[in-house]
Amino acid sequence: MSVQIKLRKGADIKLQGVASRTKVDAPASDVIALKPSDFHGVIPKLMLREGAKVKAGTPIFFDKENDKIKFSSPVSGEIVEIVRGARRVILEIKIKVDKTEAFEDFGATDVAETSVEDLKAKLLEAGLWPFIKQRPFNCIANPDDLPKAVFVSAFDTSPLAPDYDFLLEGREEDFQLGIDALAKFSKNGYVNLNISVDKELRFNAEDKFSYTDDAGKNIEIDYKTASNISASHGAAKALASLKEKYGKASDLFTKANNVSLGEISGKHPAGNVGIQIHHINPVNKGEVVWTVNAQDVAMIGEFLRTGRYIAKKVIALTGSEVSNPQYYNVTLGQNLEGILEGNLKESEESPRFISGNPLTGTKVEKDGFLGTYDSQVTVLPEGNNYDFFGWAVPIQPNKFSLSRTLWSWLMPSKAYRLNTNMNGEQRAFVVTGEYEKVLPMTIYPVQLLKSCLVEDIDAMEGLGIYEVVPEDLALCEFACTSKQPVQEILQNGLDLVKKECA
Amino acid sequence: MKFLEKIVDKLEPNFEKGGKYEKWYPLFDGFATFLFTPKHTTKKGVHIRDAVDLKRTMNTVITAMIPCLLFGIWNTGYQHYSALGLTEEFGFLDQVFFGALKVLPVVIVSYVVGLGVEFGFCIAKGHPIEEGFLVSGMLIPLIVPADTPLWMVAVATIFSVVFVKEVFGGTGMNILNPALTARAFLFFAYPKQLSGDKAWVNTELPEGYSYAENGKYVLNEIGQRVGEVDAIAGATQLSRFKASVDVMKNTKDELGEAVGAAAQSFEAGVVKLSEKFDLWEAFVGIVPGSIGETSVIAILIGAGLLLHTGVGSLKIMLSGIFGAVFMTIIFNTAGVNPYMTVGPLEHLFAGGFMFGLVFMATDPVSAAQTEVGKVIYGFFIGLFCIMIRVFNPAYPEGMMLAILFMNVMAPLIDHYVIQGNIKQRLNRLKLNTANH
């Protein structure tokens, strides 16, 4: 089974600091944190207090709205602090990691033999359920639902996104096990797994990669040089083999069982699972589709195989301010200081640390913690400086625009060092058609946003609010001439619909 | 520019909430953000933003109008001296100088008055100064005759900023195109001064020159005959087109209703039509008309920039031309009066059609906002423009009314396009429910 989807709208934003394909272990964190704010809409109810000892997989809090959904500690240790904000909202639950690496044992599961109910109960008990999310609303799935489909996207097209073929390398067994389990949850009995068919080896000409030459020496070279030297050279060979290996979706995805393979081509946001659902099996009012991040599928698989909640994942450390962007093996809730310290470039601007990608990620402090669903950490320069007649000068080598009002369109392959400046002030909606250019959906985004602003639920439903979540419109927000907070407006609309209708 | 940054930083606290000049913050903000892209950074949502903003977009539109402005300045002078037969006495530089003296005051009045009203509203309502008027302020001078009294420009500008834009909520909220409404205001409020054959070309004699022999010739300071006055120079092509119909009527009245005579009068109209109409002159723009509308070449340069940068909509422009050609062909086929025999190219190049289509119909706020809607919107602008030109006896130019009418209709077009999308979604839901 496979479907082909060709998307013509969208845009790739090329930034400096693509992670090179090397994986290293992140320095172990002394303290990790669970952030309830990662789970939008969840009202946490604590099950343990400060000072309690926990193992990996010990539930720490549950959702007040649905007490079946529990959230577990990813490590063994002791709860040292519960950080609260305004009106006593729980911001962080900090856990001091001990060296015992003790796990709660839930027992290995034979997926084929276990009933759907038991599978669900097990995932809920061990705190892995929150990795299963649902459309509409992009909230944690309700375990009592029977979704009409389960979708997994095997690639990410957002700026500086990690390469999922590289992230999941060597985890064939766990991934397949996770897919098998998810397929049982779906009404149609399989998982919609979507791969990119026009995947290239995403890198910038200036990015470095290293290879071992004939003499066994490790040599670092940039992609541009490697592409330009003769094919017989070691560097060119190394590059060719890299392209061979990562230039297309890996067998882990293409040879998976129990899946319907979606072959997607197109620019960002083609990798967003929401866009894929829209084209393959759109969500109508009253319908539910579940989605799981590909890495979390493998995590679920590993849990079913071992009976342990092994909260490890691979993240890409990226961005123009990182001196050595690469992949790290981390624990969920990892403190980021370990991988950032000593790994930042000297710069006039102060850095901004983002857990996630530059379009949808969350701003964190340097000693902040990795978000539960994030597979990427990005460091960009802050843009808190004036720009003299910045709106008038057409040639500005460091600025990027999807429109042709600047001359950046002359250099389509250039990778930029973009900062966090707004590049203007917020205005009313004026320019038309620019959102539509970067949103490969049959949805009228501006009209949908306006219906959110006036809180007209009928109009929101009619215009397709059930099919979108903020990340799908993130590129619209980037492109917006009027600097509208698109994702925030949409999130408010979604919250309202959820409150009134669900 | 560090010292300017310091000044801005130093002044800012005075204008912020609780500062001495809190009320004037919009004005301060307007000037500061004109000098610098502000240092605001992203807070929620995306961390990086596209480099384009509304200032840059509006700036692009103004840049696109510069060829029209420059050509208009020269053409104003050229038409003036050419009507007096003095083009040999007064060369290119004199023509530009005369044109600049006529045109630049109109531009200045439009901007000063318009921005003044805008600033007043911003301070009163406490919202930031928005860029919309930067474009309107340039459009207004380009669509009025060069000889328009400055006080009329001021009154029309105030009318359009207050009643077309600010009462609806400012930039981005208006239903009609503000600049075009200013033109409509002038047309309906002062029809005597601003239409007919006298309005378009200034025929005041230069200092020291005088008329001779019933105003047929012009004499210089020492009494030599230097120029022959062009009696019909002041008429625009559109008024000539219109006159062809009048000629037909007049001949008819004189000759009664004989069949052969009717055919003869039709012929007379067609002759009148071709009188002094030169397609090439109309394309280059060396014809009388509003300041910026005459030169199709200058407009096409602007259109090129708008289309290249994606600021102007190709859909609107193309469908507008298509609509006009479509209507013209129907009229040509019918051919009941001489005006109906005017060909498509003549219609496209005459009057304000191209200028209106490129710079006014494409205004994103008052145009249709959906892509399908834009095609329909543009088509009907072209169609109605030609229909009004041919059928409306009161006003030779149909573009202004066609665009304003379609501005009003645009939300309706969008409504039905969007309903189509909603219906599609409902049908999908029904189909799905039926299958299960």
The tens digit of pLDDT for each residue in A317-327 reads: 999 999 989 99
**Which of helix, strand or coil describes residue B294?**
coil
Q: Do B47 and A159 touch (CB under 8 A)?
A: no
Q: Which residue has the higher pLDDT, B162 or A22?
A: B162
Distances (CA, A) of B213 to B216, B217, B233: 6, 6, 19
Q: Is the pLDDT of residue B232 over 70?
A: no
- Give the position of tokens 């059609």: B353
Q: Does B53 lie at the interface with A, CB-CB under 8 angstroms?
A: yes
Q: Does B420 lie at the interface with A, CB-CB under 8 angstroms?
A: no
The overall average pLDDT reported for chain A is: 91
Number of H helices, E strands in chain A: 14, 23
Answer yes or no: are the C-beta atoms of A359 and A471 closer than 8 Å. Answer: yes
Q: Express each pLDDT in A173-207 by its tens digit.
A: 999 999 999 999 999 999 999 999 988 777 777 77
Q: Do A424 and B60 touch (CB under 8 A)?
A: no
Answer yes or no: are the C-beta atoms of A97 and A53 closer than 8 Å. Answer: no
Strand partners, A45: A62
Q: Do A431 and B59 touch (CB under 8 A)?
A: no
Residue B338's pLDDT band (boundaries 50, 70, 90)? confident
**Residue A411, token pair as written in the block:** 């250099």
Q: What's the CA dihedral at A405, A410, A413, A415 to 10 degrees? A: -50
Average pLDDT rounded to a whole number, residues A87-107: 91
Kindly state the percentage of chain A with pLDDT values over 90: 73
Q: Do A421 and B50 touch (CB under 8 A)?
A: no
Average pLDDT rounded to a whole number, residues B211-218: 74
Contacts of A44 (CB under 8 A, 6+ apart): A36, A61, A62, A63, A64, A71, A90
DSSP state letter for A15: B
* SS3 annotation, A346-404: CCCCCEEEEECCCCCCEEECCCCECCCCCCEEEEEECCCCCEECCCCCCCCCCCCCCCC
Compute CA B33 distance to the chain's CA centroid, rounded to the nearest angstrom: 28
Q: Is the pLDDT of residue B269 over 70?
A: no
Q: Do A433 and B371 touch (CB under 8 A)?
A: yes
Strands A31-34 and A2-6, bridge-based pairing: unpaired
- Report the pLDDT value the prediction gives residue B89, as an integer from 0 to 100: 82
Name the closest residue on chain A to residue B49, using Cα atoms. Answer: A478
- Report the pLDDT value the prediction gives residue B318, as an integer from 0 to 100: 97
User: Domain ranges in chain A?
Assistant: 2-199+248-313, 208-246, 422-502
Residue A151: Cβ within 10 Å count: 25
Compute CA A338 distance to the chain's CA centroid, rounded to the nearest angstrom: 21
Rounded Cα gap, residues B30 and B9, in angstroms: 14
Backbone angles phi, psi at B131, to 5 degrees: -85, -10
**Residue B376, token pair as written in the block:** 């329909």
Nearest by CB: A386 against B39, B56, B374: B39
Question: CA gyration radius for chain A?
Answer: 23
User: Domain ranges in chain B?
Assistant: 54-194, 279-286+313-419
**Residue A124, token pair as written in the block:** 């809920």
Average pLDDT rounded to a whole number, residues A232-254: 83
Burial class of residue B2, CB neighbours in 10 A (0-12, 13-18, 19+): exposed
pTM of the predicted model as reported, rounded to 2 decimal places: 0.92
Q: Do A481 and B52 touch (CB under 8 A)?
A: yes
Average pLDDT rounded to a whole number, residues B404-418: 96
Of the candidates B114, B341, B159, which has an alpha carbon nearest to the alpha carbon of residue B248? B341
- Give the position of tokens 């997607």: A264
- Report the pLDDT value the prediction gives residue A466, as an integer from 0 to 100: 94
Answer yes or no: are the C-beta atoms of A266 and A7 closer than 8 Å. Answer: yes
Distances (CA, A) of B398 to A204, B141, B275, B285, B392: 54, 19, 21, 19, 8
- Report the pLDDT value the prediction gives residue B366, as an integer from 0 to 100: 94
Whole-complex ipTM: 0.92
Distances (CA, A) of B151 to A108, B101, B200: 88, 16, 17
Residue B260's pLDDT band (boundaries 50, 70, 90)? very low
Strand partners, A329: A25, A314
Q: Does B334 lie at the interface with A, CB-CB under 8 angstroms?
A: no
Name the closest residue on chain A to residue B315, using Cα atoms. Answer: A433
**Residue A84, token pair as written in the block:** 């609260």
